[in-house]
Structure formats: C-alpha cells, structure tokens
Amino acid sequence: MSLALVFGLAGCATASASIPGEDAITIGVKIDQPGLGRKENGVFRGFEVDVGSYIARRLGASKVTFKEVRSDNREQKLEAHSVDLVLAPYSITPDRANLVTFAGPYYVAHQDVMVKRGDTRIRTIRDLNGRKMCQASGSVSTERVVNGLGIATNLVPASSYSDCVAKLRAGAVDAVSTGDLVLAGFAAPDVQILNVPFTDERYGVGMRKGDIDACEKVNRAITTMYQDGTASRLLRKWFGSSGLKLVEEVPQFEGCS
C-alpha cells in the first residue's frame, strides 16, 4: 500500500478524506521497549503506539495496524511496503535521511547513560572510558559516544535495548547509553539513569523516500497533537513517573526532503 494513495488528494474532498479501500495504515514500532513500544498478550502498547494511532487518524485512516520493526531493519520494512510509517526511536540523522523521508521530530529526547544502581564507578559520560558498553544492533547511539566524544569503551553487541538492559543486570556490560525516553521505559529499582544528557535525539516518523506530501501532512498532525494537549497527556501517561523533565512544546521540524 502506498502512502501516496492513502494521502492523495485526487478524488478527495478534503486532505483528511481517504480513497475507498486505501484507508488503512500500517505502522512499524518496537515490541520490546517499555513505555515506547511493547507487545503484551498480542496488544501493542506505548507512547509511540499512541502517537502513531493519533497521526494515522488525523490523516484519515479508519484502520491502523501495527507491526514489529527492529533498529536494523526499519529501512528494509519501509522499502518492502511491509509498513507505511515507522515510529521506533528512529533518530533523524543525515545518513538515514538519504534512505528514508522523515517527518517531525515528534519528540526530542537526550542521550543519557544507564548503570546498575549503586555503581559508583560511572558518574559521567567520561567514566565510560575503558568500561564495557552495550551496542544494540542498528543503533547509532554508541557511535555518538565512541566516535563523537572519542571515549574508548569496550563495545558488547546485543540484539536490542531490552537485550542490553538484560546484559546490564547480568553484569555482562557496565552501561547502556541511548535516548532518555528509551532508558526511562526500563527504569527499575536495580538500575538507574545518570541524568547526564549530552546529545539531542530527534525522533522522527520514517516513511518511504520522497513521499513529501505525506511528510507534510504528518508534520501538521504532530503540530496539532501538541496544540490540542494530546502530546502532553501521552508523555505524562507513559513517562510522568520516570523523573525525566519532559518537553511538552512542539519540536522544531527538520523539513521534508
């Protein structure tokens, strides 16, 4: 299914109208990141699930379907038309923007560090030097530490951030570093976020490359989501008890290209 068909204006009375038979949108989300995207007993739940549903409804879809994506297959899922939109902690980067079109961001998170509670060896990002840090497959977060900041960590590969947190709890790694919303979803008595943010993580809505019309419509939906109070409500619903300082203003968009 093409987003151009779903969102096309031909034969439509308004921008939110849908062409009969093409009013369904499939959204790719993570299924193992508490707070953002998780599948429990066959039901998808999380902030990005709710945001994706809101955007799809604003675009006129009467049916919204969710499918699992991973950090290492988001582009492939879009190219294969397995999903139409991706909301799966998808940080907007120049390299990724060469492969997909991004709307948004719908939230600007900040990269931070999670360690086992009581670990006094790591207090700042620089303390990761020489420590074992988890590297989730397909994620760019470790690059920001190793290449961006020049910190010589010992990278330990993992399939996902849920796998990373499991390795942290088991003592296989000393730290996990990624966007604070991702880390907040894993918050528990035995682990803690250091609250030492050092980058911006612009979470975008990924779609097939070149679908500018759909991108602009998604941006308008995101703007409305913040203006009508839905964004604030959803952020507080999923992360209000995490201790993070939540940003409830409309993010500055990157521009569709």
Q: Measure the CA–CA gap between 175 and 173, rounded to whole angstroms.
A: 6
pLDDT at 178 over 80: yes
Mean predicted confidence (pLDDT) in 123-146: 93
Give the pLDDT score at 139.
84
Assign a CATH topology to domain 3-108+202-239.
D-Maltodextrin-Binding Protein; domain 2 (3.40.190)
- Confidence at 254, pLDDT banded by 50, 70, 90: confident
Select the more confidently predicted residue: 16 or 107: 107
Give the pLDDT score at 19.
24
55-81 pLDDT, tens digit per residue, is 999 999 999 999 999 988 999 999 999
Q: Could you state, in order of their start, the residue ranges of all structural domains in the chain? A: 3-108+202-239, 109-199
Give the pLDDT score at 205.
97
pLDDT at 21 over 90: no
- Confidence at 241, pLDDT banded by 50, 70, 90: confident
Give the pLDDT score at 125.
95
Give the pLDDT score at 13.
31
219-230 pLDDT, tens digit per residue, is 999 999 999 999
CATH class of 109-199: alpha beta
Select the more confidently predicted residue: 99 or 9: 99
Query: Peptide bond before 94: cis, by omega within 30 degrees of 0?
Result: no
Q: Measure the CA–CA gap between 182 and 191, rounded to whole angstroms.
A: 13
Give the pLDDT score at 3.
52
pLDDT at 166 over 50: yes
DSSP 203-253: EEEEEETT-HHHHHHHHHHHHHHHHTTHHHHHHHHHHTTS------SPPPP
180-198 pLDDT, tens digit per residue, is 999 998 888 999 999 899 9
User: pTM here?
Assistant: 0.80
DSSP the chain: --HHHHH--TT-SSTT---TT--EEEEEE-SEETTTEEEETTEEESHHHHHHHHHHHHTT-SEEEEEE--TTTHHHHHHTTS-SEE-SS-B--HHHHTTEEEEEEEEEEEEEEEEETT-TT-SSGGGGTTSEEEEETT-SHHHIIIIIS----EEEEESSHHHHHHHHHHTS-SBEEEEHHHHHHT-BTTEEE-----EEEEEEEEEETT-HHHHHHHHHHHHHHHHTTHHHHHHHHHHTTS------SPPPP----
Give CA separation, 207 vs 47, 91, 150, 212, in Å. Answer: 19, 13, 32, 9
